[in-house]
C-alpha cells in the first residue's frame, strides 16, 4: 500500500492511499478520514460510495462530511467508483466503463477481468482497512450518492449482518426499470433479468428490507428524477413498513450542494447506530 497524501483535518487525518487489488486487477485508490480518536484505538467506519463519473476525490472534497465525522468520532472511507488505467476496458459514454462500475461483479467480456467492484467494496477493501488502520470492523455503515446510493442500499440489504445503518442521497433506486441500470446491468452481467434483482434497491426493499435505520434524501428538482425512479423505492418502503425516513427536499437538485446541505443528518443517524 502506498500513501498518496495525508493532511491534518478537523483534528484527524484525511489520507489518500493506493493499493493493488486482486479483485480488480489494478491499483485502486481510496480516501480515508480518521478522526483524532483513532490515535487511541479503532473507530467505527462510514462508507461513502460515489456516483457516475466520480473518483474517490469528489465526496472527499465536496460533501463536507469530515467536520461532522470528527464531531462524532467516526471514520470515513471514500472508494473509487471503478478500476482505472491502461488496459482497463472503457466506453465512450460516461455511464459505462471507467467511472461507472455500478458496484457489481461483471461476468461478461470485456468487463469481467477488472470490473469486480462488488467484491472489492464488500470484501477486499474492508480487509485492507482493518489490517492497516485503526478501524473497528464490527461497526460499519453505508451511505452514497446516485450510483453510490444504489451501491450502498444493495450492499446493506445483501449483507445486513455487516452494516448497522444505511442512507443515500438521490439513489438510483430501481435500475432494473431504468436506463441507468438496464444498459449497465446488461453490459456487465448479461441479458437475463433474473440475475439483476440483487442489484435493485426497490426490489430488495420489497423482498427483504433492512433491519436498521434507513435515511433517503431526494431533491424535488433533481434533473435525473426519471432515471433514478425514487417513487419505486418510496413505495417499497411503505409497503414493507420499513423503519426509515424517505425525505423529499423541496427545490434541491442532484448536486453535491444537496449532499452538503444534509450530510450532518446522515452522519448523526449513522453515529447513533454505530455507537448504540
Catalytic residues: 146, 222, 254
Between CA 242 and CA 234 the distance in angstroms is 10
State the Rg of the chain over Cα: 17
Q: Look at residues 53, 35, 47 and name the one whose alpha carbon lies nearest to residue 224.
A: 53
Contact 173, 199 (CB under 8 A): no
Contact 70, 96 (CB under 8 A): no
Between CA 264 and CA 269 the distance in angstroms is 9
Report residue 17: phi and psi, to 5°: -135, 155
Q: Is the peptide bond before 110 cis (omega within 30 degrees of 0)?
A: yes
Cell, residue 225: 428524477
Amino acid at each position: 500500500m502506498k500513501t498518496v497524501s495525508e493532511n491534518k483535518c478537523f483534528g484527524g487525518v484525511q489520507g489518500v492511499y493506493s493499493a493493488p487489488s486482486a479483485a480488480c486487477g489494478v491499483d485502486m485508490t481510496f480516501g480515508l478520514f480518521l478522526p483524532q480518536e483513532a490515535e487511541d484505538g479503532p473507530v467505527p467506519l462510514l462508507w461513502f460510495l460515489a456516483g457516475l463519473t466520480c473518483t474517490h476525490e469528489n465526496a472527499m472534497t465536496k460533501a463536507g462530511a469530515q467536520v461532522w465525522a470528527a464531531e462524532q468520532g467516526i471514520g470515513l472511507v471514500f472508494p473509487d467508483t471503478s478500476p482505472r488505467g491502461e488496459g482497463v476496458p472503457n466506453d465512450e459514454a460516461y455511464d459505462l466503463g471507467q467511472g461507472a462500475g455500478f458496484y457489481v461483479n461483471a461476468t461478461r467480456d470485456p468487463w469481467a477481468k477488472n470490473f469486480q467492484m462488488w467484491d472489492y467494496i464488500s470484501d477486499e477493501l474492508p480487509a485492507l482497512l482493518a489490517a492497516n488502520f485503526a478501524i473497528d470492523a464490527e461497526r460499519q455503515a453505508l451511505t452514497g450518492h446516485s450510483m453510490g446510493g444504489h451501491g450502498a442500499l444493495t450492499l446493506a440489504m445483501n449483507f445486513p449482518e455487516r452494516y448497522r445503518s444505511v442512507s443515500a442521497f438521490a439513489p438510483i433506486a430501481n435500475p432494473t426499470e431504468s436506463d441507468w441500470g438496464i444498459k449497465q446491468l446488461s453490459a456487465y452481467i448479461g441479458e437475463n433479468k433474473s440475475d439483476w434483482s440483487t442489484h435493485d434497491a426497490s426490489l430488495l426493499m420489497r423482498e427483504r428490507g433492512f433491519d436498521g435505520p434507513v435515511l433517503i434524501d431526494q431533491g424535488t428538482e433533481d434533473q435525473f428524477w426519471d432515471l433514478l425512479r425514487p417513487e419505486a423505492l418510496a413505495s417499497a418502503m411503505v409497503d414493507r413498513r420499513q423503519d426509515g425516513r424517505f425525505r423529499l427536499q423541496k427545490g434541491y437538485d442532484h448536486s453535491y450542494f444537496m449532499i452538503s446541505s444534509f450530510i450532518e443528518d446522515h452522519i448523526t443517524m449513522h453515529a447513533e447506530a454505530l455507537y448504540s
